[in-house]
Amino acid sequence: MADIAGFLRQARTGKGVVGAIVQTLSTNILIQGVNIATGIITARVLAPHGRGDFTAIIMWPGFLSALFTMGMQTSLVYQLKNGRGRIDDFVGTALALGFLGGLLAMITGIIGIPYWLHSYAPDVVRFARIAMLIAPLNLVGALLYTSAQAAQEFGRFNKFRSFPSIIILASLLLLAGIHELTPQTAAATYLLAGIPIFIWNSVWALRRFHLRFDNMFECAPILLSYGIRIWGMDLIGAVSDQVDRVLVFGFLTPSDLGLYVVAQSAARLFSIVPAALQLVISPKIVLLGVSQGAPLLVRTARITFVIMCTGAIPLGLLAPYAIRFVYGAKFMAATPVFRVLLAEAVIGSFTWFLAQGFASLGKPGRATIQQVIGLSISFPLLLFLVPRFGIDGACYALLLSTTIRSIFAIVSYRLLFGENLSHFIPRFSDFRWIVSQINAPRPQAGVPQEQA
């Protein structure tokens, strides 16, 4: 009973390794569930055209903010672990640099949005430019989240992450109930929901770190020298995640964009499976090292792939009924698109799982190469196919790019670790072996060294 009580206490507070994993995983599931609910509300009320306008407004602050991080989040984590008594200075300086990056993102968006959204109504363009004012808070808020995570305050970290989603859901329900839910009010809800949490997080950071800004000129070069070196990964990640949506803005009507975004969001629900498994097994893989960690990861990847296929195949067959029931008859035209994106999501989640494994096995450079390959293929394909085939072209461009990234990962695992991923059907022995490896204590195993 004492063990059970201790486990529940850790899960509630987020303290300890088990508590952090359980609470973070539960928070991920909660956020995903709330996002599903908010997506259904906006789709049903706004219809495809309004859903496209809504996406056009809210995408740019987050996307452009991600381009101007300057690597501050990773650099701040590093300095919080190695600051040697200067944590207060580094946190204060990182927040100031984040605000500067947010200003650059805001200016870029205000200038560029009229060109990027030239086919949209003037009121949508105007509101999208106003929405860019939130960009500095986006970047500073992300650094505040990072400071809580790096300080091992996982209970607070998960509260900070989940509360904005809950506020958004409650606000959308209220607006829908009083018949005031429009693309503009929905976008305002998404953009402003994080402000109360931002204030709460800022008060916590002021008390926790006693923020100082008087040594900025000394600390800024240290933060930037580390951050700039990994900024490329932030840029590649941000562009890779959103390149399809960024490019389709200029070629698709708001209605087609609404269909595409809803289909893509629904298809990517399967990413929660590999994300949850990766969270649990990554620390174990690091401790096991390459010789035993690589077989564990590969067998888990095969099982993950089968689990996703088991859910995706019947969902694809029942897609017309599922889309009509969840999103309404106006989104029935998204059925063929959804099926293609569902296949892309399954392969993409499997590929993402393998990419995360590269880092755990001491090969982070391979994950970067994999992202670059995917981006170098998807970008020209989208430019070629979307103007000719619309949303169908976007879907097939993503599917082809993701498939090639998957092949690269499979070949890399064979060459680097001698692990065969060419057959995807797991055996019963795989399940038994994984359980034995996860439960086996290996405190003497070393951490794999970082290599290219």
Q: Residues 8-54: pLDDT tens digits?
A: 454 454 455 555 566 666 777 788 788 888 888 988 888 888 888 89
Closest CA to 58 of 235, 257, 240, 356: 257
What type of residue sits at position 276? A
Closest CA to 407 of 415, 383, 235, 450: 415
Closest CA to 145 of 189, 186, 200, 108: 200
Residues with Cβ within 8 Å of 371's Cβ and at least 6 positions away in sequence, in order, are 233, 236, 237, 240, 355, 405
Model pLDDT, residue 447: 39
Residue 151 phi/psi, 5-degree rounding, is -80, 5
330 C-beta neighbours (distance < 10 Å), count: 20
With a cut of 70, list the residues of the chain below it in pLDDT. 1-25, 80-86, 149-154, 210-214, 230, 233-234, 237, 276, 278-284, 286, 359, 364, 422-452
pTM over 0.75: no
- Kindly report, residue by residue over 331-340, the tens digit of the pLDDT: 888 889 899 9
Model pLDDT, residue 34: 85
Model pLDDT, residue 256: 84
